[in-house]
Amino acid sequence: MHKILIVAGDGIGPEIMDATMRVMEWFRRKRQFDFVVEEGLLGGCAYEKQGRPDPEETIAKALSADAVLLGAVGGPQWDSMPFELKPERGLLRIRKSMEVFANLRPAICFEALANASSLKPEIVSNLDILIVRELMGGVYFGTPKEITPLPGGGKRAVDTQVYTTEEITRVAHVAFRLAGRRNRRLTSVEKSNVMMTGVLWRSVVTELHRAHYQDIALNHMLADSCAMQLVRNPHQFDVILTDNLFGDVLSDEAAQLTGSIGMLPSASLGAEIGGRARGLYEPIHGSAPDIAGKDMANPIASILSFGMALRYSFDRADDADLMNQAVAASLGEGYRTADIMQPKMTQIGTGQMAAVILRSLDRLID
C-alpha cells in the first residue's frame, strides 16, 4: 500500500488538487493502484492556521510518505510578511527536508495546442524537452544571504551562489541517465564565462561524461544563449541540465512554448532507496490568486504531476503513459480551460476538465 501526502496549499491549489484526486481514485478503481492519503498544510494557509509556513507535522508526514503531491503556495496577502515567514519558505523547507535535489520539468507541446503557443506552430509542434534542474544548491540556498546597512546610508544585499562537486555530480548522473532513456542528447547549461560556479559545473559534467557516459552526446551552452535558442530552435534540445537559478528561469520560458504554464508538471527526486526515488510532485505554475475559487484553473499540470509520480516513485510507466494519452485525447476533442482557450474550442472549468480526462481514460482502456 503506497502512502501519498496531499499538500493543496494556497490559491488555486485546493481546486487543482481536488481534480487530481479524482483522477487518482480512477487509477485505484480501474488500474489496481492501491494507496492511502494523508493531508498537510504548507505555505500561506499553514501560516494562518499554525503561525509558520512550514509546520513540523507536515515535514514529518512528507518524510514518511512514498510521494508528496503539492498544489501551490503563496499569494499577495502574504507579500509584506517577514522573509522567513513567507509561504515560499515552506516550499524550500520541504524540498530541503526531503533532499530532493533533481527537479524534472518536461516541456511537451501536445499536438492540439501547437497553435496556442506564442511561437509559430512549426517551431513548437511535437516538442518534447526535459529540463533537469538542480534543486538544493546554488543561489537559493547559499550563505551568506543578507541585507546589511552601509556607512552613510544605503544598504548592501548579498545572495551567494555556491556549488560543490558532489552536488553537481549527483544531479548530472540523473540527467545523463534520463538522456540515455530518450534521444541520448544532453545540453549542460551554465555561465562559465563569468561565474566560477559555472567553471566548476562545466568541468564536473565534462569529466563525468568522459568517465561514464560517452554514449551520450554532450553539448555545453551558456545560459543566456540557451534562453535565446529555446525560442529560436527548441527542437535542438532533448535533455537540458542546469543549476537552480537558471533552471527556474529556463523552465518557465519553456512553459510558454507549450501554450500555457498551466500545462507543465514537475517531479523533484531524491536519491534512490530500494530502487525508487523519494519524490515531490507539483505543477510549476503559481497559486494564481486572481482566479482562485472561480473554477477557472487548468488542472492538467497537477494531473500530469501525478502521472510523473506514477512513473518515478511507483514504477508504473504504463500508467504514466496512459495519463499522457488521456490528456492528449481530451485536448484533441477541443476542450480547453481559459488559459489555453482557442477559437472554435469548448471552454470548460477546472472540474469539467477533470471529468473530460476521466472519460478519456475510460475510453482508452475499453
Q: Whole-angstrom Cα distance, residue 195 to residue 212?
A: 26
Buried b (16+ CB within 10 A) or exposed e, 111-124: ebbbebbebeeebb
Active site residue 224: yes
Closest alpha carbon to 55 in 28, 91, 14 = 91
Find the catalytic residue in 47, 61, 163, 191: 191
324-359 burial code (b ≥16 CB/10 A, e <16): bebbbbbbeeebbbbbbeeeebeebbbebbbbbbbe
CB atoms within 10 A of CB 295: 15
Structural contact between residues 365 and 359, judged by C-beta atoms closer than 8 angstroms:
no
> How far apart, in whole angstroms, are the C-alpha atoms of residue 241 and residue 254?
13
The one catalytic residue in 140, 163, 213, 312 is 140
Enter the C-alpha cell of residue 137.
Answer: 544548491
Annotated active-site residue in 238, 243, 248, 339: 248
Catalytic-residue membership of 321: no
Query: What torsion, rounded to 10 degrees, do the Cα atoms 333, 335, 340, 341 define?
Result: 110
Q: Out of 215, 224, 318, 321, which one is annotated catalytic?
A: 224
Q: Confirm if 55 and 85 have CB atoms less than 8 A apart.
A: no
Judge whether 18 and 330 are in contact, CB under 8 Å: no
- Determine contact, residues 217/236, Cβ cutoff 8 Å: no
- Please give the DSSP secondary-structure letter assigned to residue 68: E
Residue 34 annotated as catalytic: no
Catalytic residue among 128, 159, 252, 295: 252
- Cell numbers that stand for 278 in this block: 523519494
Does the annotation count 243 as an active-site position?
no
User: Would you state the cell numbers that stand for residue 222, as one nine-digit string?
Assistant: 551558456
**What are the grid coordinates assigned to 38, written together?**
494523508
Q: Is 140 a catalytic residue?
A: yes
Extract the C-alpha cell encoding 156.
Answer: 548592501
Residues noted as catalytic: 140, 191, 224, 248, 252
